[in-house]
Structure 1
Amino acid sequence: MADVIVIGAGPAGVFAAYRAAVLGANTTLIARDEFGGMAANDGPVPVRTLAHAVRLIREASQLSRYGIAVSDPVLSYPRLIARVGEVVDDVRAHSLRREYLDHLGVRTHEKAGTARFVDPHTIETDSGLRLQADKIIICAGGTSRRLPIPGFELTATHSDAWGLTAVPPSMLVVGAGATGVQVASIFNAFGSRVQLFQAGPRILTSEDEDVSMAVAAAFRESGIVVHENFGTIEAFEKTPGGVRMVFSKDGRRDSADAAIAVVAVGWVADSAGLGLAEVGVETDARGYVRVDPYLRTTAPHVFAAGDITGRLMLVPQAVHDGMVAATNAVRGATTTLADQVSPIGSFTDPEYAQVGLTEAKARESHDVAVTTTRFDGNTRAIIDGRTTGFCKLIVDRATCTILGCHVVGERAVEIVQAVAIAMTARMRVDDLARVPLSLPTYASILGRAAYRAAEQLNLDVSGQMYQQEG
């Protein structure tokens, strides 16, 4: 009998198993499919690989501006998909450190199928495994939300999109959150005629409004047809060329056709089939497992971590969850979840990223200073010919600390990481303005934004070079 069984081998599960084993627990890790979970096999890793191909195509398009003569690039999609597979295998083998788990004595069962509770301490899998443990940590992740709409079976998920063997001539993308916009951006760059549909008034509704507007404008300029406030979907229908989406608004019916329709309208817990109710583990209406601050479920010996809890569904948070859940499973309820500064970004073209509060949310409870610095004044952006975008800082006037940062443009995701560090350290904005960031770099736009914010707040940052940068 094991001390700890971990169900799910994504980031939450891998790090839960690692932490439990480090603390001396006899640990078993169960993977329904491949080691690495959605993050390695179906999420950030393959997405970023495809986005890198987009970047290479884009960079090749401006070679002539720098005096380099080459023929136009031609995409071999099968070869690209093969490269995605190579990257995923490499990440599973090295980045997730499977060998660390093996060295610690963690018994890992891959491709075990769905795991379910037989009794409070016994787990059975589709592959026939029957395992027992004193403590169990559920890290089964999430899955794409389905809609109760006629013909929905004709649609594809983002997972299906990444698994295509050829670039479709046309594509409908329904849902303009982080997943939907990445699908739209990548396949638009590969040559698909993309229509992006958002039921709400703007795409990327969880982002700062300026980010939503800038990304939507860039998408339209690149050829993506963006439909906001498009109405209500009535049905999906099969057509000779693919699929048709029928929708209506204000009593008027309309439709859109494409070779494929990708629906990305949310993420729900992948908890069906686990047999949670039978052992006293409660879930909410969307299937998310209810946990306390120790990540303990309503069954005291069962813990949960990662996407299945419905918290911030990001890899860093899943890793942190896994570590906390495992610590408490082995040592008892000793560690609670701490508030974290959580940077979020997406590898679209252009990139966008954020950390902290949006301007609208910050103004609800703070007196703020807001400054926006454009990429067309950043030396590195000018050198690289990537002058689209901006960096927006939101600063609390009372404390002079940064409440939020929002970036659209080249290397946005990397830029925001630096702000996350500053926010975690509770640096004042004038302290950030004094940091001698290297030039010419994209990150130096932070210095200029911080300098401008400090000026608004009448803080002394005289002599800083960033007043010349942007």
Structure 2
Amino acid sequence: MDVIVIGAGPAGVFAARRAAELGAKTTLVTREEFGGMGATDGPVPVRTLAHAARLIREARQLSQYGIAVSEPMLEYMRLLARVREVVNDVRNFSLRPEDMDRLGVTVYEKAGTARFVDPHTIETESGLRLQADKIILCAGGMSRRLSVPGFELTSTHTDAWSATAVPPSMLVIGGGATGVQLASIFNAFGSKVQLFQAGPRILPTEDEDVSAAVAASFRGAGITVREDFGTIESFEKTPSGVRMVFSKGDTPDSAEAAVAFVAVGWVADSAALNLATAGVETDARGYVRVDASLRTSAPHVYAAGDITGRLMLVPQAIEGGLVAATNAVRGASTTLGDLVSPIGSFTDPEYAQVGLTEAKARETHDAVVAVVRFDETTRTIIDGRTSGFCKLIADRATRAILGCHVVGERAVEIVQVVAVAIAAGMRVDDLARVPLSFPTYAAIPGRAAYHVAQQLNLGVEGQAYAPA
């Protein structure tokens, strides 16, 4: 059997590996370089810049601990060189392109955009023409564009990561995960940042307490946060940059900066694939429709990753690629289950979550909630990182852990502990009894679990619980 995989991000890489392992003659075609957006334009470069921002913040904290140093100074071009090093190392050592050679996968990099010319044949901008019995679409996504005059004057997150200098000021339009990362990182680098969110709160998919805490921290750090700001009318060029013209009701307003970054959503990168030729259906946003086995409306075509519009995270993309490839080669018998999916961002402050928000939990459960503040946990006090909290939510009747939401230092790492507990089917009192090391960030959700167990009169005192 011949299999073509289109796209070499996490979904595509693991789909190609799996198809080859199952004995298919596999070809991997990518528009740009091996690794896709995840390695070259997403989590890897973003996290590298965020780490630099963290180092700046930590350097400014040194005097609290009796360490005298001069004020840190960012050399942005050297940082970008480090970003390139990290991207190359991740591509070479984490994604392991040599595995493709070992498995016999034929890889075509920088092939340009691929398109169907008939149901089993694709053609690329570079002139490749390939045929296969099964095709797996892993072409990813791209930033959503706005239909307003002057939009061409704006930039995307891709432009932000590849800028050659830190802009003195910036507008960030969109208060979701990408927008808040842009705002946080470049604020740490010295930009004067204005963050705009059309809805009533930034991070609208997070727990309401998380959104409020991050917004308050951003304002305290000097970021202007404009929530429910109105409707964008246009973007205009100014002598020093760009102006955004907007209005709320009948009240006109505007904001100016050196650059304007728009991060108002993510859509499938599917328009150029000529999917109709293969009989592949999409929804209104261009996402490829798939069933539980990740098969499209065309029985010989499967899809995984961002192009499907499902939870657009690297672990889920990898799992989707494995499922799609397995079913493409063996037949549609494996389904993509309900994965436990921790989500977080390396902003300042960090935020993270897994499971249901408190509001969602209360809609369908008799929810019990405990909040542990970071100014009352030992490790955060030691580290001087006392802003934030950990909220744990459980079901009163079943004692099941329903969700966890964290704002503050190491939030992303903390939530992983609860994600494992949920995946393992642990009850909240089970988590409370785990003797997590002291003093650690990982022990904080254990303390929250202990407080929930106390509310439920579960008698965890005297067990292996250790305070955080």
Q: Could you tell me the TM-score, scaled by structure 1's length?
A: 0.99
Asked if structure 1 preserves the Cα contact closer than 8 Å seen for 2:438 and 2:467, the reply is no
2:32 alignment partner in structure 1: 33
For residues 407 and 398 of structure 2, the distance between their equivalents in structure 1, rounded to whole angstroms, comes to: 26
The 3-state SS of whatever aligns with 1:9 is coil
1:87 alignment partner in structure 2: 86
Matched, 1:340 2:336: no
1:211 alignment partner in structure 2: 210
The 3-state SS of whatever aligns with 2:273 is coil
2:358 alignment partner in structure 1: 359
The alpha carbon displacement at 1:66 in A equals 1.0
Letter in 1 for 2:455: Q
1:150 alignment partner in structure 2: 149
The alpha carbon displacement at 1:349 in A equals 0.4
For residues 129 and 266 of structure 2, the distance between their equivalents in structure 1, rounded to whole angstroms, comes to: 29
Asked if structure 1 preserves the Cα contact closer than 8 Å seen for 2:435 and 2:466, the reply is no
Structure 1 residues 324 and 465, CA, compared in 2 at 3 Å: closer, same or farther?
A: closer
2:291 alignment partner in structure 1: 292
The alpha carbon displacement at 1:468 in A equals 4.6
Question: What does 1:436-447 correspond to in 2, within 5 Å?
Answer: 436-447=435-446
2:456 alignment partner in structure 1: 457
The alpha carbon displacement at 1:72 in A equals 1.0
The 3-state SS of whatever aligns with 1:92 is helix
What's the C-alpha RMSD, in Å, of the aligned pairs? 0.9
Asked if structure 2 preserves the Cα contact closer than 8 Å seen for 1:407 and 1:416, the reply is yes
Letter in 2 for 1:331: R
The alpha carbon displacement at 1:377 in A equals 1.2
1:112 alignment partner in structure 2: 111
1:180 alignment partner in structure 2: 179
Question: What does 1:202-241 correspond to in 2, within 5 Å?
Answer: 202-241=201-240
Greater CA drift, 93-102 or 265-274: 93-102
> Alpha-carbon deviations, 1:132-180, whole Å to 9, x = none?
1100000000000001000000000011111100000000000000000
Question: What does 1:8-87 correspond to in 2, within 5 Å?
Answer: 8-87=7-86
**How many percent identity over aligned positions?**
78
The alpha carbon displacement at 1:446 in A equals 1.1
The alpha carbon displacement at 1:71 in A equals 1.0
The 3-state SS of whatever aligns with 2:318 is helix
> Alpha-carbon deviations, 1:280-323, whole Å to 9, x = none?
10111100001111111111000010000000001011001000
2:255 alignment partner in structure 1: 256
2:323 alignment partner in structure 1: 324
The 3-state SS of whatever aligns with 1:256 is strand
The alpha carbon displacement at 1:466 in A equals 5.2
For residues 330 and 58 of structure 2, the distance between their equivalents in structure 1, rounded to whole angstroms, comes to: 52
The alpha carbon displacement at 1:264 in A equals 0.2
Letter in 1 for 2:305: G
Matched, 1:283 2:282: yes
Matched, 1:3 2:34: no
Asked if structure 2 preserves the Cα contact closer than 8 Å seen for 1:451 and 1:467, the reply is no
1:189 alignment partner in structure 2: 188
The 3-state SS of whatever aligns with 1:102 is helix
The structure 1 segments of at least 4 consecutive aligned residues displaced by more than 4 Å after TM superposition are: 464-468
Asked if structure 2 preserves the Cα contact closer than 8 Å seen for 1:51 and 1:186, the reply is yes
Structure 1 segments unaligned to the other structure (5+ residues) = none
Structure 2 segments unaligned to the other structure (5+ residues) = none
The 3-state SS of whatever aligns with 1:19 is helix
The alpha carbon displacement at 1:203 in A equals 0.4
1:419 alignment partner in structure 2: 418
Asked if structure 2 preserves the Cα contact closer than 8 Å seen for 1:27 and 1:107, the reply is yes
1:429 alignment partner in structure 2: 428
Asked if structure 2 preserves the Cα contact closer than 8 Å seen for 1:113 and 1:127, the reply is yes
Asked if structure 1 preserves the Cα contact closer than 8 Å seen for 2:290 and 2:308, the reply is yes
> Alpha-carbon deviations, 1:104-135, whole Å to 9, x = none?
00011000000011111111100111111100
> Alpha-carbon deviations, 1:59-88, whole Å to 9, x = none?
100111111111111100000001000000
Asked if structure 2 preserves the Cα contact closer than 8 Å seen for 1:246 and 1:253, the reply is yes
1:410 alignment partner in structure 2: 409
The alpha carbon displacement at 1:384 in A equals 0.8
For residues 408 and 256 of structure 2, the distance between their equivalents in structure 1, rounded to whole angstroms, comes to: 31
The 3-state SS of whatever aligns with 2:145 is coil
Matched, 1:383 2:382: yes
For residues 22 and 465 of structure 1, the distance between their equivalents in structure 2, rounded to whole angstroms, comes to: 44
Structure 1 residues 345 and 204, CA, compared in 2 at 3 Å: closer, same or farther?
A: same
Letter in 2 for 1:255: S
Letter in 1 for 2:387: T
For residues 466 and 253 of structure 1, the distance between their equivalents in structure 2, rounded to whole angstroms, comes to: 57
For residues 70 and 341 of structure 1, the distance between their equivalents in structure 2, rounded to whole angstroms, comes to: 43
The alpha carbon displacement at 1:195 in A equals 0.2
The 3-state SS of whatever aligns with 2:422 is helix
Q: Could you tell me the TM-score, scaled by structure 2's length?
A: 0.99
Letter in 1 for 2:445: L
For residues 90 and 396 of structure 2, the distance between their equivalents in structure 1, rounded to whole angstroms, comes to: 44
The 3-state SS of whatever aligns with 1:227 is strand
Letter in 1 for 2:15: A
The alpha carbon displacement at 1:443 in A equals 1.1
> Alpha-carbon deviations, 1:234-290, whole Å to 9, x = none?
000000000000000020100000000000000000001101011210111100001
Asked if structure 2 preserves the Cα contact closer than 8 Å seen for 1:12 and 1:322, the reply is yes
The 3-state SS of whatever aligns with 1:131 is strand
Asked if structure 2 preserves the Cα contact closer than 8 Å seen for 1:236 and 1:243, the reply is yes
Asked if structure 2 preserves the Cα contact closer than 8 Å seen for 1:112 and 1:125, the reply is yes
Letter in 1 for 2:443: S
Structure 1 residues 466 and 72, CA, compared in 2 at 3 Å: closer, same or farther?
A: farther
For residues 466 and 392 of structure 1, the distance between their equivalents in structure 2, rounded to whole angstroms, comes to: 18
